Amino acid sequence: MAEEFLTFRGIHKTFGQTVALAGVNLDVFPGQVHVLAGENGAGKSTLVKILMGVEKADRGEIRWKGRMHRPHSPIDSLRSGIAMIYQELNLALHLPVHANVFLGREIRSAGVVRESEQKQRTRELFRMLGADIDPTLPTRQLGIAQRQLVEIARAIGADAELIVMDEPTAALSEQESENLFRVVDSLRQRGVGIIYISHHLEEFERIGDMVTVLRDGHRVWQGPAAETSPNEIIRHMVGRTIEDLYPKRQPQFGPVLLRLKNLNSPNGTKNASLEVRAGEIVGIAGLVGGGRTEMLRALFGLDSADVEEFTLGDVRIRVPSPHRMLHHGVGFLSEDRGGEGLAQNLSVAVNMTLSAPEQISRWGVLSHTRRERVSEALIERFRIKAKSPSQAVRELSGGNQQKVALARLICADAKVLLLDEPTRGIDVGAKNEIYRLMNRLAEEGRGILFVSSYLPEVLGMADSVYVMCRGTISRKFRVEELDQERVMALATGVEQDQSPHGRPLPQGEEGSQPCARIVSNGPSFNKF
């Protein structure tokens, strides 16, 4: 690694009164994985956007392979041998997968795109990543994790000498992440330099050679990845230690709020049966593509499904639809926060109250005073860092955006929360806040059903766990029955452990959730 080929010197960048970067220095070498760590807003994304030509530095210089690097656009950087995988995916959803992989560098002959060759090369790239994605599919049909793999394949296929990876494993399962790490190891051996941004601290030792920590736009620490620990990195990131990333609580389970029996959907969900009780946090683990998100969407009525039996408390639901689910106290948080979860151009107050017009109306007329009062109470309760309720939600950090999305569900008085990847793409400090918020909501008597591709999160937060494998769901496990190896065995079909007919075992049978201290009077749903 003696040959230095990427150098940042004295990089400054401000946005109005906000200092995003304050004289940052950084060196990356061939065959090195240089990890950038820091909370949301620390300056990581701004630094790499300057490298890619998305932003311009106010002061400082970048040298690439001995020359000044002043790109006007990401295309300039790509032509120079620098590729980036963005956290917020940048795909043409109307095009087929292979067209996105080769977008801007199509394989042509006499001016005509050679689609068959592109498809074959795309298959080879996915095989390298350990992914099974049809190159001919329209990209809009892919889930978030599969779209992320398309971005990764595009960068790897460009034969870049430096690749910037911004949260590449945020939506990947453990197995898919390990496949990516093997690809990174291969790239490192070929002399490719990598800038790796991640909030999964345990990845640093596995994948990183050097770690640089940014805080409030300053470089506060740098050192070899092998000579530090996640706790040390957290201390440098946030200026304090977070002793218990997954805060503990004493669960108190009440009556069943949601019971599902034999849900089948065209998207591949097969005979899914589950239940969620008041005060219970239920995790759904499994591989990306195993049907977890699809089941949650069908359960909320976003996608069509056939259900043998579906009850919310004492109410029987014949055909789920978003309107019915909201009316009966079920809220849904999409994994696609930017595209589906929030109206980015609208204010914090409007986003919070979108699903509860009755809370901010008087005699059917919108009351701006009520909306202001409701949103201020939610901002205080959820500890959202915003200048005011009128601030555009796009201006908030990822963690605060996620809090706004959760606050919207509580504003609508949701008794059951369906959360798809609730901490995707947010930093460790914000994750800890989201976990504490989930615990508080469960303690109020709400039921939480959440999907996560991050197994430590499932095992750290859930009281009970279901595991999905190719559209089918396991029996209900006590979290103490599981470890990461057993979850992976269930998710890949190596271990078969389902209740008869795919139904959850009733109370008292082997493998069912043991009786906890019961909330005798049922859940309480105080709004604020």
Token pair recorded at residue 384: 């959202």
Radius of gyration of the chain (CA): 24
Which pLDDT belongs to residue 198? 85
Measured CA to CA, the distance from residue 460 to residue 150 in angstroms comes to: 30
How many Cβ atoms are within 10 Å of 401's Cβ, its own excluded?
26
**Which residue do the tokens 């605060």 mark?**
400
Determine the Cα–Cα distance for residues 82 and 155; give it in Å rounded to an integer. 9
pLDDT score recorded for residue 4: 66
Question: Which parts of the chain register pLDDT below 70?
Answer: 1-4, 88, 171, 240-244, 497-528
- Say what the pLDDT of residue 241 is: 60
Instruction: Name the residue with tokens 């956290």.
Output: 87
| Residue 309 parent element (H or E) | strand 306-312
Tens of pLDDT, residue by residue over 386-421, are: 888 999 998 888 888 989 999 999 998 899 999 999
DSSP code per residue over 182-250: HHHHHHHHTT-EEEEE-S-THHHHHH-SEEEEEETTEEEEEEEGGG--HHHHHHHHHSS--S-SS----
Which residues of the chain form CATH 3.40.50.300?
6-238, 246-329+413-528
HSE-CB of 446 using CA atoms within 13 angstroms: 27
What are the tokens at 261? 């029996």
DSSP 108-151: EETTEE-HHHHHHHHHHHHHHHT----TTSBGGGS-HHHHHHHH
Pseudo-torsion of CA 213, 219, 220, 226, nearest 10°?
40
Of the candidates 524, 284, 312, 294, the residue with the CA atom closest to the CA atom of residue 416: 312
- Asked if residues 382 and 437 have their Cβ atoms less than 8 Å apart, the reply is yes
Q: Is 176 helix (H, G, I), strand (E, B) or coil?
A: helix
Tell me the CATH number for domain 6-238: 3.40.50.300
Phi, psi of 156 (to 5 degrees): -65, -40
CA dihedral 447, 417, 394, 351 (to 10 degrees): -110
Instruction: Write the burial class of residue 118 (CB in 10 Å: 0-12 exposed, 13-18 middle, 19+ buried).
Output: buried
Query: Could you tell me how many residues make up the chain?
Result: 528
- Segment 72-105, tens digit of pLDDT: 998 899 889 999 987 767 899 999 999 999 988 8
Alpha-carbon distance of 392 to 422, in angstroms, equals 21
Q: What crossing angle do the helices spanning 144-157 and 174-189 adopt, rounded to 10°? A: 10
Enter the tokens of residue 231: 């706790």
Please give the structure tokens belonging to residue 484: 């990461």
- Give the separation between CA 220 and CA 464, rounded to whole angstroms: 40
351: which 2 tokens? Answer: 């986003």
Q: What pLDDT score was predicted for residue 71?
A: 94
pLDDT at 506: 38
Q: Are 433 and 381 within 8 A, CB to CB?
A: no
Residue 495's pLDDT is: 75
Residues 293, 286: contact at Cβ < 8 Å?
no
| Amino acid occupying residue 291 | G
Tokens 């870049």 — which residue? 160
Give the SS3 label for residue 488. helix
Residues of the chain by 3-state class (helix, strand, coil), percent to 5: 35, 25, 40
Find out whether 349 and 372 touch, Cβ atoms under 8 Å.
yes
What dotted CATH number matches 246-329+413-528?
A: 3.40.50.300
